[in-house]
Chains A and B, each alone.
Chain A
Amino acid sequence: MITFLFYLFALLAGASALTILFVRNVFYGALSLMACLLSIAALYVLAYAEFVAVTQILIYAGGIAIVILFGIMLTSRVRGVPLVVQHNNLFGAVVAGVALFGLLVTVFSHHTVTPVPTSTEGTQTLQPAQAIGVATLTAYLLPFEVIGILLLIAAVGAMVIAGSLKSKQP
């Protein structure tokens, strides 16, 4: 059952990612990205990373989706006409993509990954979400604070950049 669900959601993620590549309407591209990100969240649940899955759904489906849709609606030139994107550099992109994908698959298929036996006794009894909470406030305290400051700077900076707008062609 879990294997079937894994391949189902992996197929969904790959197909919706390829859909973004082929559609020309930016709105459909954003919706396909949402489908892809939610499929990836389902894969996280199947991989026993529930907290990351919930964070992915909250942040991507709740935050980034709304922000990207606002961006699309604010940058469409004519009201009522869908924002259609042009393609360029097709040859170079296909060459780069196929080369990179072939390289990655070749490297992955020549290596075997073996599970690492853990020796930590304290974290064995914790639930996964509890283990993340404990690690956030002990081992990862400094990165946690730094990432909070980074998020604050980014939010204030985004507001300042998008706030005082002036137009070159009024």
Chain B
Amino acid sequence: MLPVHHLLYLGALLFTTGLMITIIKRNAIMVLLGLELMLNAANLNLIAFNQQTPGSPDGQMFALFVIVVAVSEVAVGLAIVLRVYRYFQTAVPDEIRELKD
């Protein structure tokens, strides 16, 4: 059995890194990468706690659902980024200042 606390520390590091990527980077695709990293940090915590209840797959089921939601999020997010890029010729959210035609 892996040490739970070290998995939790790794999850905290990944979550914090994802948050900093989301704040720092100006490109929308890099922001999506940061969001993926944060979701994976949450998944790592779920798996770490699932280890503590042997014989019960509850934590793994939650992790699977989180993965599916992450896939949906990145698919729709990238579609929106592509559409915004085709319309405004930029993928930097700060440079988009108007909402309608």
Contact = CB atoms under 8 A, between A and B. Distances in A.
Per DSSP, chain B at the interface is helix
A162 B24 contact: no
Size category of the binding interface on chain B:
35 or more
B25 A85 contact: yes
Interface in B44-79: 44, 47-61, 63-65, 67-76, 78-79
Contact of A40 (B2, B15, B44): B44
Contacts of A161: 76, 79-80, 83
B86 interface: yes
B23 A48 contact: no
A26 B63 contact: no
Given A10-B6, A68-B74, A167-B86, A55 B64 contact: yes
A80 interface: no
Interface residues of A, number: 89
Interface of A: 2, 6-7, 10, 13-14, 17-18, 20-21, 26, 29-30, 33, 36-37, 40, 43-44, 46-49, 51-52, 55-56, 59-60, 63-64, 67-68, 70-72, 74-75, 77, 83, 85-90, 92-94, 96-98, 100-101, 104-105, 108-109, 113-116, 118, 120, 123-124, 128, 131-132, 135-136, 140, 143, 147, 150-151, 153-155, 157-159, 161-162, 165-169
Interface of B: 1-10, 12-21, 23-27, 29-30, 32-34, 36-37, 40, 43-44, 47-61, 63-65, 67-76, 78-83, 85-89, 91-92, 94
